[in-house]
């Protein structure tokens, strides 16, 4: 952890390391590397947000960019979420490709008008004439005892708004590929950085690459049950699938990567094979992405289902502060395993 990181418990951004000839990069470091590479190749990309410049972001995922690209392209703004999004919208309409940071996903609520009523709708309301290549980065998810206003997973709220794309990278590889795709996209995207994942490293290619938005990924093939896990839950679901494999349940794990647009075809195909579906997310169960996936699966794959669809998600309460409570609140491998077993 860097000494000036104000969040006890947050992992450090993680640097690169060579191990067994494979280049590994931390989740947070992947944000920095991607931004730097994109800003070198595209002058229309800039970053604006609270403390993104001199401080490099409160989580450090913009560290080192201002020294290279200067104060004009890595812009420290006032604490003013509506104006930060507005700044991005106005600049995007002018043809730039802004990346604006909202620090904590919870703060998106402060800027909801600019995101929902302006950014998401401008193109449509203007009869198609406007392009809005705007990327909003924000840190979501719990697990740091950051309590109810700094820990939420609000992706379902955003997915309900036509015009937005909502992207949830589960590891450093996806951070790089999906962030690149978001910035090159001509639509407003919300790129949700999971703050518990910041220090986790995995193999990431050095050169820029894109992972297409709207395409899910089969993390693990299996024949007994389909498990759809979102964001950091991919990691927990992987552990659960490994455990259950020893017990004779063979899970197919799907990571949608983007929740809007949602790769429902991939899930339908998998459920057609396994006949069982469990959906896992960190957000509260009621009205979460799981509800949408479950509804679409009963529309599109009802005949293949051998059991009711199971959802493993947070209960319907604000995120609690106490570590003891929060640990029970956020789904983990154990709860996911129990959820999968419920199907059989």
Partner 1 sequence: MDITDEILIDLYKRMVRVRLFEEEAGRLAESARLPGFLHLYVGEEAVAAGVCAALKNEDQITSTHRGHGHLLAKGGDFNRMMAELMGKATGYCNGKGGSMHICDLDLAMLGANGIVGAGVPIAVGAAFANRLTGNGLISVSFFGDGATNIGAFHEAANMAAALSLPMLFICENNEYAEYSPRHRTMAITDVIERAAAYGFPGAIVDGMDCVAVFEAASLAIEKIRSGEGPMMLECKTYRFYDHVGVKGTASNYRTDEEVEEMKKRDPLLVHEARLIESGVMSADSLQAIKDEIQKEVDKSVEFAEESPFPEVEEMLLDVYSKREPS
Enumerate binding residues for partner 1 (CB under 8 A).
Answer: 46, 48, 72-73, 75, 77-78, 80-96, 98, 113-114, 117-118, 122-132, 162-163, 165, 184-187
Report the phi/psi class of residue 8: left, alpha or beta, with left for phi > 0 and alpha for psi in -120 to 50: beta
Name residue, tokens 């590891």: 171
How open is the CA angle 193-197-202, to the nearest 5 degrees?
110
**Inter-helix orientation angle 233-246/333-341, to 10°:** 60
For residue 105, the 8-state DSSP code is: G
Name residue, tokens 């024949």: 223
Q: Which is nearer to partner 1, 213 or 284 (CB)?
A: 213
**In angstroms, how far is CA 209 from the centroid of its own chain?**
18
Residues paired with 312 in a beta bridge: 280
Q: Is beta strand 165-167 parallel, antiparallel or unpaired with respect to 258-260?
A: antiparallel
Both tokens of 240, joined, read 């659960």
Report the phi/psi class of residue 211: left, alpha or beta, with left for phi > 0 and alpha for psi in -120 to 50: beta
Q: Least distance (Å) from partner 1 to the CB of residue 110?
A: 9
Q: Which is nearer to partner 1, 21 or 95 (CB)?
A: 95
Q: Which is nearer to partner 1, 21 or 162 (CB)?
A: 162
Q: Least distance (Å) from partner 1 to the CB of residue 121?
A: 8
Q: Is beta strand 17-19 parallel, antiparallel or unpaired with respect to 22-26?
A: antiparallel
Indicate if 160 belongs to the active site. no
The three-state secondary structure class of 311 is strand
Tell me the three-class secondary structure of 10-55, residue by residue. Answer: CCCCCCCEEECCEEEEEHHHHHHHHHHHHHHHCCCEEEEECCCCCC
Q: Which of 339, 327, 331, 326 is nearest to 314 (CA)?
A: 331
Q: How far is CA 23 from CA 16, 29, 67, 285, in A?
A: 7, 13, 25, 37
Residue of 150, 160, 203, 217 with catalytic role: 150
Q: Which is nearer to partner 1, 3 or 128 (CB)?
A: 128
Active site residues: 150
């Amino acid at each position: 952890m860097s000494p000036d990181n104000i969040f006890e418990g947050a992992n450090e951004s993680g640097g690169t390391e060579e191990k067994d000839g494979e280049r590994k990069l931390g989740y947070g470091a992947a944000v920095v590397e991607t931004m730097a590479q994109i800003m070198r190749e595209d002058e229309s990309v800039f970053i604006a947000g609270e403390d993104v410049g001199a401080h490099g972001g409160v989580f450090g995922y913009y560290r080192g960019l201002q020294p290279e690209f200067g104060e004009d392209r890595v812009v420290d703004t006032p604490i003013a979420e509506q104006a930060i999004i507005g700044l991005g919208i106005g600049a995007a309409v002018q043809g730039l490709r802004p990346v604006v940071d909202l620090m904590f996903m919870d703060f998106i609520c402060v800027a909801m008008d600019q995101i929902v009523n302006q950014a998401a709708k401008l193109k449509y309301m203007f009869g198609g004439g406007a392009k809005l290549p705007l990327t909003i980065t924000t840190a979501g998810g719990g697990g740091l005892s950051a309590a109810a206003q700094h820990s939420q997973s609000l992706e379902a709220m955003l997915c309900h708004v036509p015009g937005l794309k909502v992207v949830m990278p589960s590891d450093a590889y996806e951070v790089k590929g999906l962030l690149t795709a978001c910035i090159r996209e001509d639509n407003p995207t919300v790129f949700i950085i999971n703050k518990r994942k910041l220090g986790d490293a995995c193999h990431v290619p050095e050169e820029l690459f894109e992972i297409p938005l709207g395409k899910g990924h089969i993390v693990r093939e299996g024949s007994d049950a389909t498990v759809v896990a979102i964001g950091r839950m991919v990691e927990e679901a992987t552990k659960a699938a490994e455990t259950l494999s020893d017990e004779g349940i063979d899970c197919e794990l799907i990571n949608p990567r983007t929740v809007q647009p949602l790769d429902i075809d991939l899930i339908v195909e998998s459920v057609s094979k396994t006949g069982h579906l469990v959906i896992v997310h960190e957000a509260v169960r009621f009205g979460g992405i799981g509800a949408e996936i479950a509804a679409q699966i009963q529309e599109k794959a009802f005949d293949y289902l051998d059991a009711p669809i199971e959802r493993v998600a947070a209960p319907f309460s604000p995120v609690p502060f106490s570590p003891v409570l929060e640990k029970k609140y956020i789904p983990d491998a154990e709860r996911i395993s129990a959820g999968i077993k419920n199907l059989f």
